[in-house]
Chain A
Amino acid sequence: MDEVRPLLELTGATVRFGADAALDRVDFRLYPGEVHSLMGENGAGKSTLIKAITGALAMDEGELRLAGERVSFATPHEAQASGISTVYQEIELLPNLSVAENVFLGREPRRGGVVSRRLMRERAAAVLEDLGLTLDPASLLGTHSVAVQQLVAIARAISADVRVLVLDEPTSSLDLDEVAELFRVIRELKARGVAILFVSHFLDQVYELADRITVLRDGELVGEYLTGELLRIDLVQKMLGREIGEVRARGRVSEDDAEDGSAAVLRARGVSVAHGVAGADVDLAEGEVLGVAGLLGSGRTSLAHALTGVAHLESGVIRIESTDARLDSPRHAISLGVVYSSENRRRDGIVAELSVVDNITLALQSERGVFRRIPPARRRELAASWVDALDIRPPDLDRPVGTLSGGNQQKVLLARLLALSPRVLVLDEPTRGIDVGAKVEIQNLVSELADNGMSVVFISAELEEVLRVGDRVAVMRDGRIVETVAAADLTTDSLLALVAQPGEGED
């Protein structure tokens, strides 16, 4: 392959924000017909590199060559015109327009200056067909599921004359079937000679798809490797630049304790939420971590909402500490010691514009009410102790939380909840979209909290993680808890089988 000339070549790329170099003399090559994965922790410079390629950001130094020719893009539009298309993690499409328009907006087929809707629909149908989607191109985008919208975004990217396709975390909102569908499409594009830059936090997906991996760390290039020649453990090590802290083995709660209903801190029976979860039973003992595994749409988030007063219960009872609790609001749940961390950190979690101190003390202050203000010195002291305890980096209390990396944002969120001294912590995908190092830290933190007697419900899309952290695992499918199994009795494969089992298997 090395005889072929790279389609896209970046040399000596340097981007500085103030004094800090977000990207320091990085070289990057992309060959036609390959899938190249860019790996690194958050803050390693992945998104900066992508932005430098797609024209969203100007480089301070370095040059970009496309098919041997030196180019520089002032806007994403110019990059697009040269055949570099990008699909972003957050779907950047327009729900108020039709599918066809979302595919062709900005380069609609025209006849004499007039947009031809019929032609646009036909071409859109053809592009969607290519992706194996039978979708009414005239329907409004907003009427489709997130996954379909993601595929439409890809249809948009490939409908242009695409030479380089940049996929930035395209799978984070897709379930397994949809990921498989997406991979099929990516392989097809690859066969057509498109150079694909694929960024994902899921190592499995990277290993399944990528031909080549480039690793970045702290804005510097660590190296470029062929996927087949790089062991997974080596990859993670190169990304982290240190030995991964082993997940601490923790004394599992014995089976007896878990089975013994009287020890349950939280006990739910027959909990149902409209369009979410039906007849779920949950027992959570003191110091226990209950992992929840299930696909997107299996009701795992609804379950979390039901347990924490976010969603209104249609039926069922929740007992906390052997008293019946009719949770009617998150506030009520918090007063009973049950706190919830949302899967959507940015929207329902942190307040990006506020400082670390404000974010950490937010819930505590709210709990105390307006008239019992926490003195500023006390607030800082409190926040500082959490920043220290959770190793939030950089340890700058006044920094707006929005400028921290995903992992550190999550820690700030955890600190806010932990400041309430809860009894039960419900974490919905706390490690989504954060780097491997921070992931391990958060997993360790959860184990540590459980060792100290806290009960945790840990929801995650990553089965390994659920197995590693949970004492028991509740498997959800189609809004029901189909089984609750001790984690020790499960392997990733057996859990996968439970999660993925098709509906017909049930009676």
Chain B
Amino acid sequence: MAAMTTARPKSGPSEGRPSVVQTFLSRHGGMMPTFAAVAILILLFIGGEIFLRGDFIKPLTISNLLINYAYLLVLAVGMTFVILTGGIDLSVGSVMAFTGMLGAKLLADGLPVGIAVPAMLLGGAAIGLFIGILVQYFGVQPFIASLAGLFLGRGLAFIVSLNSIKVEDPAVLWLQSTRIKVGDWVITPTGIIALITVAIAAFVLHLTRFGRTIYAIGGSEQSARLMGLKVGRTKIAAYVISGTCAGLAGLLLTAYSNAGYPRNGIGTELDAIAAVVIGGTLLTGGRGYVLGSMIGVFVYGTIKTIINFMGAEQAWMQIIVGSLLLLFIVVQRAIVARAEGRR
């Protein structure tokens, strides 16, 4: 409303050449929260270095981020798709537990990896499809639909087994136990899988019609529909992707812990959401980057590492992540409010 009344120069046909900064801001203004996340990550590293007297910034610490949080990174990638459409997926933590249990059980029953792993991914995709259909065709709020998915996933995990199932399949264990060394840097196959997931997601979101439709829906579902975009299909696909990522995360977590455990990942969906938001994706949808989500996961992991190094209470983890989340949401609101004020 303010824009209708302000007497400001029109940004229109008769404008002079704008400065480089103006051009950058008008093109990539939406990246600011992601830059902020990078800044916070750097600050955390510097802070860690100072507190721990030079024992923090070293290849191993950074390598460990990817070794320990590969599963969270994959969850955050799937979550980014859903949040970009303006939705939310609360089911991923329990879907990850379910698929982990499913895989462990199938392997324990003697089925080959070639069946167990696709079954995990398909199990996750199926729950995602279920949520997507609820959201799209039954008009259920994403929050509620994915809450149903959360209970479903957790219940299914307990149906598979009430106790943890040990995994002894060498192929699955190989994913985490192999250490590929490049100088002082270390990476596991799980980390490579997570990075590939990020790369594929970034490609899909930015360079395919499907990806741009995801952004369009987040901007305005009504407009996207009037523009003739395939809104329904794309929205369901976003939940299927999130479910599939949860299935993949189930595999990575199973490899990491050598077992499927039905109580895995309680509350992990909130960690994934926190990482996505800290990484600069707007909860209202339409703005954000999957690379930002990766930064968000690293911020999350770094805070946890620092707290471990300091030997402080784990409760501080929750408080710090909570505060950061709050800070980022306030920053995002300010950015959105400014953008609206300008129009």
Interface size on B, residues (CB 8 A): 43
Contacts of A97 in B (CB 8 A): 212, 215-216, 219, 286
Contacts of B10 in A (CB 8 A): 145, 147-148, 297
Binds B, one of A8-16, A136-144, A224-232, A390-398: A136-144
**B208 & A146 in contact (Cβ 8 Å cutoff):** no
Q: How far is the CA of A76 from the CA of B225 in the complex (A)?
A: 9
CB of A348 within 8 Å of the partner chain: yes
CB of B318 within 8 Å of the partner chain: no
Q: How far is the CA of A2 from the CA of B44 in the complex (A)?
A: 76
CB neighbors of B among A87-101 (8 A): 88, 92-98, 101
**A98 & B27 in contact (Cβ 8 Å cutoff):** yes
CB of A344 within 8 Å of the partner chain: yes
CB of A133 within 8 Å of the partner chain: yes
Distance (Å) between the CB of B336 and the closest chain A CB?
10
Q: How far is the CA of A98 from the CA of B30 in the complex (A)?
A: 11
Contacts of B215 in A (CB 8 A): 94, 96-97
Contacts of A115 in B (CB 8 A): 206-209, 212
Q: How far is the CA of A147 from the CA of B13 in the complex (A)?
A: 11
**B227 & A95 in contact (Cβ 8 Å cutoff):** no
Q: How far is the CA of A98 from the CA of B8 in the complex (A)?
A: 22
**A145 & B228 in contact (Cβ 8 Å cutoff):** no
**A142 & B342 in contact (Cβ 8 Å cutoff):** yes
Q: Select which of B13, B23, B223 is within 8 A of A94 by beta carbon.
A: B223
CB neighbors of B among A228-275 (8 A): 275
Contacts of A134 in B (CB 8 A): 13, 15
CB of A462 within 8 Å of the partner chain: no
CB of B314 within 8 Å of the partner chain: no
Q: Select which of B1, B5, B206 is within 8 A of A300 by beta carbon.
A: B5
Closest to B2 in A: A275
Closest to B225 in A: A76
Q: Select which of B7, B27, B207 is within 8 A of A298 by beta carbon.
A: B7
**B287 & A113 in contact (Cβ 8 Å cutoff):** no
**A139 & B23 in contact (Cβ 8 Å cutoff):** yes
CB neighbors of A among B1-39 (8 A): 1-8, 10-13, 15, 18, 23, 25-27, 29-30
A95-B339, A276-B7, A299-B7 in contact; A132/B226 too (CB < 8 A)? no
**B12 & A148 in contact (Cβ 8 Å cutoff):** yes
CB of B222 within 8 Å of the partner chain: yes
A113-B208, A140-B27, A143-B26 in contact; A181/B6 too (CB < 8 A)? no
CB neighbors of B among A295-309 (8 A): 296-302, 305
**A143 & B5 in contact (Cβ 8 Å cutoff):** no
**B343 & A95 in contact (Cβ 8 Å cutoff):** yes
Contact digits for A273-302, partner B, Cβ 8 Å, 1 yes 0 no: 001110000000000000000001111111
Q: How far is the CA of A105 from the CA of B223 in the complex (A)?
A: 11
Distance (Å) between the CB of B66 and the closest chain A CB?
28
Contacts of B213 in A (CB 8 A): 105-106
Q: How far is the CA of A244 from the CA of B298 in the complex (A)?
A: 70
Contacts of A105 in B (CB 8 A): 212-213, 216, 224, 227, 229
Q: How far is the CA of A105 from the CA of B231 in the complex (A)?
A: 12
CB of A478 within 8 Å of the partner chain: yes
Contact digits for B254-290, partner A, Cβ 8 Å, 1 yes 0 no: 0000000000000000000000000000000011000
CB of B153 within 8 Å of the partner chain: no
Closest to A116 in B: B207
Q: How far is the CA of A261 from the CA of B23 in the complex (A)?
A: 51
A94-B286, A105-B216, A147-B12 in contact; A142/B7 too (CB < 8 A)? no
**B11 & A145 in contact (Cβ 8 Å cutoff):** yes
Closest to A276 in B: B5
Q: How far is the CA of A145 from the CA of B10 in the complex (A)?
A: 7
**B29 & A140 in contact (Cβ 8 Å cutoff):** yes
Q: How far is the CA of A348 from the CA of B4 in the complex (A)?
A: 14
**A95 & B6 in contact (Cβ 8 Å cutoff):** no
Which range holds the interface residue count of chain A? 35 or more
Q: How far is the CA of A138 from the CA of B224 in the complex (A)?
A: 19
CB of A75 within 8 Å of the partner chain: yes
Contacts of B128 in A (CB 8 A): none
CB of B78 within 8 Å of the partner chain: no
**B7 & A343 in contact (Cβ 8 Å cutoff):** no
Contact digits for B189-209, partner A, Cβ 8 Å, 1 yes 0 no: 000000000000000001111
Q: How far is the CA of A76 from the CA of B230 in the complex (A)?
A: 12
Count of CB-CB pairs between chains A and B under 8 Å: 137
Contacts of B27 in A (CB 8 A): 98, 136, 138-140
Q: How far is the CA of A480 from the CA of B23 in the complex (A)?
A: 31
Q: Select which of A110, A132, A143, A148 is within 8 A of B29 by beta carbon.
A: A143
A76-B226, A142-B343, A181-B13 in contact; A96/B6 too (CB < 8 A)? no
Contacts of A277 in B (CB 8 A): 5
**B6 & A302 in contact (Cβ 8 Å cutoff):** yes
Distance (Å) between the CB of A99 and the closest chain B CB?
9
Closest to B8 in A: A275
Contacts of B287 in A (CB 8 A): 96
CB of A380 within 8 Å of the partner chain: no
Q: How far is the CA of A158 from the CA of B88 in the complex (A)?
A: 36
Distance (Å) between the CB of B272 and the closest chain A CB?
22
**B7 & A478 in contact (Cβ 8 Å cutoff):** yes
CB of A326 within 8 Å of the partner chain: no
**A114 & B207 in contact (Cβ 8 Å cutoff):** yes
Contacts of A81 in B (CB 8 A): 228
CB of A470 within 8 Å of the partner chain: no
CB of A464 within 8 Å of the partner chain: no
**A106 & B6 in contact (Cβ 8 Å cutoff):** no
Distance (Å) between the CB of B140 and the closest chain A CB?
20
Closest to B15 in A: A134
Contacts of B11 in A (CB 8 A): 143-145, 148
Contacts of B229 in A (CB 8 A): 105-106
Q: How far is the CA of A81 from the CA of B227 in the complex (A)?
A: 11
Distance (Å) between the CB of A325 and the closest chain B CB?
21
Contact digits for B302-343, partner A, Cβ 8 Å, 1 yes 0 no: 000000000000000000000000000000000000010011
Distance (Å) between the CB of A146 and the closest chain B CB?
6
**A348 & B1 in contact (Cβ 8 Å cutoff):** yes
Q: How far is the CA of A117 from the CA of B8 in the complex (A)?
A: 31
Q: How far is the CA of A208 from the CA of B343 in the complex (A)?
A: 29
Contacts of B18 in A (CB 8 A): 136
Closest to A128 in B: B13
**B212 & A76 in contact (Cβ 8 Å cutoff):** no
B interface vs A, CB < 8 Å?
1-8, 10-13, 15, 18, 23, 25-27, 29-30, 206-209, 212-213, 215-216, 218-220, 222-224, 226-229, 286-287, 339, 342-343
A interface vs B, CB < 8 Å?
75-77, 80-81, 88, 92-98, 101, 105-106, 108, 110, 113-115, 117, 132-134, 136, 138-140, 142-149, 156, 178, 181, 275-277, 296-302, 305, 343-344, 348, 478-479
User: Could you list 25 A-B pairs, sorted by A, with CB under 8 Å?
Assistant: A81-B228, A92-B226, A94-B215, A96-B30, A97-B286, A105-B213, A105-B229, A106-B209, A108-B212, A132-B13, A136-B26, A136-B27, A139-B23, A140-B29, A143-B339, A145-B11, A148-B10, A178-B12, A276-B6, A276-B7, A296-B4, A297-B6, A299-B5, A302-B6, A479-B7
Known: A105-B212, A133-B12. 14 other contacts (CB 8 A): A94-B219, A94-B224, A95-B339, A96-B218, A96-B219, A97-B212, A114-B207, A134-B15, A140-B26, A142-B343, A146-B3, A156-B227, A348-B1, A479-B7
